[in-house]
Amino acid sequence: MNKKKLVNRFINYAKIDSQSDENSDTCPSTIKQLDFARQLKREMEEIGLKEVSLDNNGYLMASLPSNTDRDLPVIGLIAHMDTSPDMTAENVNPRIIRNFDGGIIILDGNKNIVLDPENFPDLNKYTGQDLITTDGKTLLGADDKAGLAEIMTAIEYFINRPDIEHGKIRIGFTPDEEIGRGADRFDVKAFGADFAYTIDGGEEGELEYENFNAAMAVIEIAGRNIHPGTAKNMMINSIHIANEFNAMLPPELRPEHTEAYEGFFHLIDISGNVEKTRIRYLIRDHDRGKFENMKKLIRENSESLNRKYSGEYVKVDIKDQYYNMKEKIEEHIHIVDLAKRAMNEAGVKPLVRPIRGGTDGARLSYMDLPCPNIFTGGHNYHGRYEYIPVRSMENAVKTIINIIKLIPLTY
């Protein structure tokens, strides 16, 4: 593996603005994602990948053909091309911190933006290593430009070593994962893999095959606006009802108070006036039963408020987004065991954790493509404090290489 090429590949990808946009109805949601996909397509063709295709929706697929007569399973490697809309991705300027000394890293001296191990204790794990950080003005985009770079580097390893036996490998790069649409138009049949891995995790060693069950709740609250001077017993202020609604949800079930397998109601948006207020919640829990009860509570609270105000003032619309892939992966647990073995052989300790979120792999698993999630090595995704240790990126590449090498030994 060429470490320098891996780092340069990641930095070059990170500098490209491929941010998605949740307010767009197109697929991909931004034309710049399609531009990036075209660039990746050219690179795939240049390094010798086959069956390279890019559709109008921005889904890029390619193959490393099998070099054996043996009937081996086809495995897929998947990453997403977009970066989070949470923070600007324009003019990303990655910095390499050589031989990190364990102290404070100044990202932007003018604005006193620093990476301080006191605030980000995971930094203490990487003393003496090279880190790639932001310049304090943008996100870095390791989620998931690191995954793209690691897959491309691992695949190039086999292209340059045709003597190493392997089965067919399929590569899939998707748009719009950050806005929850990454699997919307993924053609599982055309992809043609028996199972796959998303390379989209965080800290080195992360291996995830459990994720939240997820839903979005939109609550529309109607009010009655009367001049405040004559409003007694007539005005109904939708903002106040919205506040009541929020207060009826358990405060301990907020993201800032939960961890591990604990679910939450995440209030992500509230806007309105006396006449009309709109609230949006993310509903999350790993346990399907608890998840269904949380949705039930939202509906019961709306019914309670409608009884209180003697009318249909509160309307609820809940849409499920994705489900816990554990239900599907457990039927194919050998692919998790395969990833664990690959990590161990790369000198990486597997950290099997539930995802407190979702990935393309969760939805793909329900589309009959079992798809656990593997680390990229990044930390503090979606913001100016994002960083990634170079050694972790190298170990992600080694893990991918080992998975591919282990297939002929396992089947």
Measured distance CA(136)–CA(97) in Å, rounded: 14
From residue 411, alpha-carbon distances to 70, 137, 328, 401, 407 in Å are 9, 48, 21, 16, 6
Asked if residue 21 lies in contact with residue 29, where contact means CB atoms within 8 angstroms, the answer is yes
> Catalytic site residues?
82, 177
Query: How far is C-alpha 184 from the chain's CA centre?
Result: 14
**Residue 302: which residues within 8 A CB-CB, separation 6 or more?**
219, 245, 314, 315, 316
Asked if residue 377 lies in contact with residue 389, where contact means CB atoms within 8 angstroms, the answer is yes
Measured distance CA(329)–CA(331) in Å, rounded: 5
Q: How many residues does the chain have?
A: 411
Query: Residue 195: which of 71, 75, 306, 362 has the closest Cα?
Result: 75
From residue 249, alpha-carbon distances to 61, 281, 291, 310 in Å are 44, 11, 14, 21
Measured distance CA(203)–CA(391) in Å, rounded: 11
Hey, how many other C-beta atoms are within 10 angstroms of the C-beta on 240? 14
Helix (H, G, I), strand (E, B) or coil at 119: coil
